[in-house]
A = this chain, B = another copy of it.
Amino acid sequence: MSVTAPRGFRAAGVAAGIKGGEHRDVAVVVNDGPARSAAAVFTTNRVKAAPVLWSRQVVAGGRVRAVVLNSGGANACTGAPGFQDAHATAERLADALQDSAGEIVVCSTGLIGERLPMPELLAGVDAAAAEAARDGGLNAADAIRTTDTVSKIAFRRGEGFTIGGMAKGAGMLAPSLATMLSVVTTDAVLTSEQCDTLLRAATALTFDRVDADGCTSTNDTVLLMASGASGVAPDEAEFSRLLTEVCQDLCRQLLADAEGASKTIEIEVVGAASTADALTVGRSIARNALFKCAIYGEDPNWGRVLAAVGTTDAAFEPDQLNVAVNGVWICRGGAVGDDRSKVNLKPREVTVTVDLSAGPEAATVWTTDLTVEYVHENSAYST
C-alpha cells in the first residue's frame, strides 16, 4: 500500500549498487494523474543539499510528475557538480517518462560531502522507472532506508479518497524535519495551493514537533502529490485531519525506530501563556542531554526537567512549576511532589507533563532518550 494506496500512482524500489550489495537504494513514485498538484516542505538548515536546492525550484511551480529518491549518499556539500548530478537525475527520470525534468523532484539521503556514483544511480533510475507499478509502494519504502531498521508506511481512507505515505529517518530528527524524507500521495482532487496549505498545517503539528537529537539535517523533504484520480474534491477539514493522522503515524514509526533509542518520550506542556511558549519549553526539554540520559536510566529526574525549563524565556514562575512523569506529579510548586517511587518507567512509551501555571495553552513535542547505543551508532557511522 503505502504511496500506491491512492489511485493514479505507481512506484518502485531497486538495487542500483549505491549502497553496495543487494540492498534497494533507488526509488521512484510516479503520478499518472489526471492532475499533478503538489507541495513540499524542506529543511530550514541553510546548508541545503543539492537535491533540496533542485526540488524547491520544481515545487515552486506547483506541479510534480514524479519523485526519484536515493539512499547511500546525501549529495550535500558537493558544490556545483552535486547540483548538476541532481539535475541529471531528474532529466533521466523525465526521459524515461517522456516528461519534463522541471516537474521531477529529487531526494537523497546518506553521507554528507561525497559525490553520488552517477553511472550506478542513472542506471537505477532507468530500472526503477521501468519497474514502477501499482504494487511497488513497499519496495519504494524499502529503498529509501539508511540506518532505519524497518520501512515506515501509512495510509488513511476518507469519503471517496485515499491518502498514503512513506518515510525514512532514524537520526537527525529535529524541528524543521531533519534527515527525514517522506512522500505522501492522495487521489483527492486538490489544487497545488490547497496542497501547500494542508501540508504545512499537518507538518506543523507532526514532523515539526519531533526532535530526536536536536540535529537539523541538510536534506529533509516532505512531499505531497495529488493525482485527482478519485474524482473527489474532499472536505478540507476531513482531508486535513486524515493527512495529519498519516503524518502522525509516520512520525511515531520514525521515533519507534530512532537510532539507538530505548524510549519514546511524549512531552506535554500545559498551562502555557501561548502555544509558542509551550513549544519552546517542550523543545528545551527534548534537547536536554541530562534529562534524556535520566530517562534512559529509568530515573524520573524532575530536577533536570526544571533546569531545562529554566533556560527558556517562556512565561512562568519557578515556584509554580508542576511536573508529572507517566501521570505521577513528582514535582509540585517547583519542589518535591508525590513519591517518585510510584513512577513506572519500564514501558518504552514515556509521558512527561509540565504545567507552567501561566495560561490556557498547550503543545506536545516528541523525542527519544539518549542511550549508549545512540553514541555507538553515531560514532561509527561513516567509518
Chain A interface residues toward B at CB < 8 A: 44-48, 74, 76-79, 82, 111-114, 171-172, 213-218, 287-290, 293-294, 296-297, 299, 301-304, 306-312, 316, 318-319, 321, 331, 333-336, 370-372, 374-376, 378-383
| Inter-subunit contact B375/A113 (CB<8 Å) | no
| Inter-subunit contact B372/A45 (CB<8 Å) | no
Which B residues are in CB contact (< 8 Å) with A78?
335-336
| Inter-subunit contact A380/B47 (CB<8 Å) | no
The 8 Å CB contact of A319, one of B79, B217, B371, B379, is B79
Closest to A45 in B: B310
Interface of A is mostly: loop
Which B residues are in CB contact (< 8 Å) with A379?
293-294, 296-297, 299
Which B residues are in CB contact (< 8 Å) with A318?
46-48, 77
Taking the closest CB of chain B, its distance from the CB of A302, in whole angstroms, is 6
Taking the closest CB of chain B, its distance from the CB of A319, in whole angstroms, is 6
| Inter-subunit contact B77/A331 (CB<8 Å) | yes
| Inter-subunit contact B310/A47 (CB<8 Å) | yes
Q: In the bound complex, what is the Cα–Cα distance between A68 and B336 (angstroms)?
A: 25
Known: A290-B172, A310-B218. A372 touches B376 (CB 8 A): yes
Which B residues are in CB contact (< 8 Å) with A76?
303, 306
Taking the closest CB of chain B, its distance from the CB of A102, in whole angstroms, is 23
Which B residues are in CB contact (< 8 Å) with A304?
112, 215
Taking the closest CB of chain B, its distance from the CB of A146, in whole angstroms, is 13
Q: A112-B307, A113-B336 are in contact. List 4 more A-B contacts (CB 8 A).
A: A215-B308, A216-B307, A294-B378, A372-B375
Q: In the bound complex, what is the Cα–Cα distance between A306 and B48 (angstroms)?
A: 10
Q: In the bound complex, what is the Cα–Cα distance between A317 and B381 (angstroms)?
A: 27
What are 21 A-B pairs at a CB distance below 8 A? A46-B312, A47-B307, A77-B331, A77-B336, A79-B319, A79-B335, A111-B303, A112-B304, A113-B306, A171-B290, A215-B290, A218-B306, A289-B374, A293-B374, A294-B381, A297-B380, A299-B380, A299-B383, A301-B382, A372-B372, A374-B375
| Inter-subunit contact A334/B77 (CB<8 Å) | yes
Which B residues are in CB contact (< 8 Å) with A45?
307, 310-311
Which B residues are in CB contact (< 8 Å) with A293?
374-375, 378-379
Known: A111-B303, A307-B45. A290 touches B79 (CB 8 A): no
Q: In the bound complex, what is the Cα–Cα distance between A172 and B114 (angstroms)?
A: 35
| Across the A-B interface, the 3 shortest Cβ-Cβ residue pairs | A112-B303, A297-B379, A47-B310
| Inter-subunit contact B335/A77 (CB<8 Å) | yes
Closest to A176 in B: B311
Taking the closest CB of chain B, its distance from the CB of A231, in whole angstroms, is 43
